[in-house]
Structure 1
Amino acid sequence: CHVDLRPGLREIITEGIVGLETSAGTLRIQLLPDCAPHSVDYFIELLRLHNCAGCRFYRAEGRGHLWDAKGDHVKNAAFGPPYALLQGTLEVDGVAFKEMPKEGCSTVRRGSVAWIGSGPEFLISLADHAEWRDAYTVFGSVVPEDMAIAEEMSMLPASTDVWSGVTVRLLKD
């Protein structure tokens, strides 16, 4: 089944870290206000709602044989698919999403949390993606201890679909 972020986003004890509660466990994310202040402000607005109805993960692709367990790309391997990522939306039902501006941090590494375009679609990277260069705004990073939860989510039951000629793995409802 897909992973809802319900009961939603919640603050964790340490300042600057938020939790995405999923059926697989809570992913703690260190926000990066110096890199992406507008994106972090949006996250804080979500915290004030105490619920993120509509927020969910819907795509999950493991590392396959293209990246090692540390997230390093395997020499001479393709860069995907699979693309070693979790993808979801942070659009709250009934709340208009304000597009996020492109902000400072853009290097996607293992654990990076980044907007796809101007949002509300986002990704969590399971590998280093230097090949993506400046395509994304990174606004957070999953704490290293919680990457096992993200890896587990990438293995949840899924079906495949084709988006713009690329095979993707979609979480089952």
Structure 2
Amino acid sequence: MNPFSKPPHTLLAMGLAFVAVSAVAQSLTPLVPVDGTAASPWRFVGFPKSKADIPPTRFELAEVQGERALKVSTRASYGTWVHDLPNANPGRLQWRWRLDQPLTGGKGALLGQWQTESRDVAADFSSLFADEIPTGAAVPQVRAVLIGADSDNTGAESVAWLKSLTWTH
């Protein structure tokens, strides 16, 4: 099964879920802290300049419909927003997201409307990588949360928002 044949919102879910998360919700620093300051454990990771000079995707705290959220903007760019965490057993990852511009080749996402996602990380990993897990082996522990957005291959622009990212058992 090719995981990249999934719809864009499913790929976003897989990208968030498989790169990893923490064992308890309180150890995952909020994307948008109550005091409105930048979430310091989160860090930007771009494409290595030695490979290509690709502009960075923008990750910024902003307001949409009167609510604070993480705004993710691409313009022929690439980038990830990463939160490193200690190894933890997989749980359930939940978040809310919305798109303000259609994705190139994207289908089914309602523009300007908040969507709620909830994924069982272990079940998704087992489903997508069953042929790579030895029989009877446990799903690997997770080490980080990664939020990614890129449009370097298409040269397109997009604006998306993310909030209420939580990890539970």
Shorter-chain TM-score tier: under 0.3
TM-score (norm 2): 0.26
Structure with more of its chain in strand, by fraction = 2
